[in-house]
Amino acid sequence: MPFSDYKTALVTGASSGIGAAVVERFRREGVEVHALARSGEALHKLANACGCIPHVMDVTDRDGLTALTDKVQFDILVNNAGVDRPKKFLDADPEDIDLLVDVNLRAVLHLTRLVVPGMVARDRGHVVNISSIAGAYNFGGNSTYHATKAAVSMLSRQLRIDAFGSRVRVTEICPGRVATDIFAHVHGDSPEIRERFIEGYELPEARDIADAIGFAIAAPVAVNIGHMEITPTLQVPGGLSTAKPAKAG
């Protein structure tokens, strides 16, 4: 369904990176965008720049989300908020597990529960779930993150089934490495981290992901773009590693 048929959007994790780029993209299309994030200063700066409606709120605040979705009927929902605590699962902290499940999965489930039934009743809506290539491919040190993103991937497929018969569309976006500040948030902002993850690489920008989302939303109502995997041209996921058994002592 073209942007002109959508009036309101809710974007989580909206204060920076992909979330902020999506907010700006939607505002250029004339959509009323409710931008939700914990960082009040960055969120209000974004609101002053593009005219979105800021909501300084943790995405795990179920009462706050319920109150917001009771007041506003959303035509577009972008589940973008996410966190990571890279660590081998053998060394996982219980607090990290709870945090990733709460933010990356539980919040997505509850927001979807609050918003999608209204979309189905109005026969209009689009859900965009920002997943990750980590939901489909394995790489070391992110086991809980992989698990939560795989769950979001399956939810995206199941939503199509549950909303079948209505013009509610679901798009899963699976980014690889993107030039955003997520690496600084996870690993700390330092020259070493920027060199490790950003500098010297040819990477998609946050606005490239936002444009891909815009493409999916702007498609005719008869078209559902269900899945996009977006990686740098010079990045491939996966690989093959084989280890020899440890020698007996």
Q: How far apart are the C-alpha atoms of 104 and 205, rounded to whole Å?
A: 22
For helices 40-50 and 17-28, give the axis angle rounded to 10 degrees: 20
Residue 227, beta-bridge partner list: 172
Classify strands 125-130 and 32-37 as parallel, antiparallel or unpaired: unpaired
CA-closest candidate to residue 168, choices 177, 179, 158, 178: 158
How would DSSP label each residue in 79-123?
E-------B-GGG--HHHHHHHIIIIIIHHHHHHHHHHHHHHHHT
Q: Measured between alpha carbons, how far is 173 from 225 in angstroms, rounded to an integer?
A: 10
Of the residues 6, 137, 145, 201, only one is catalytic, namely 145
Largest CA distance in the chain: 70
Q: Is 137 a catalytic residue?
A: no
Amino acid at 17: G
Which positions are catalytic? 145
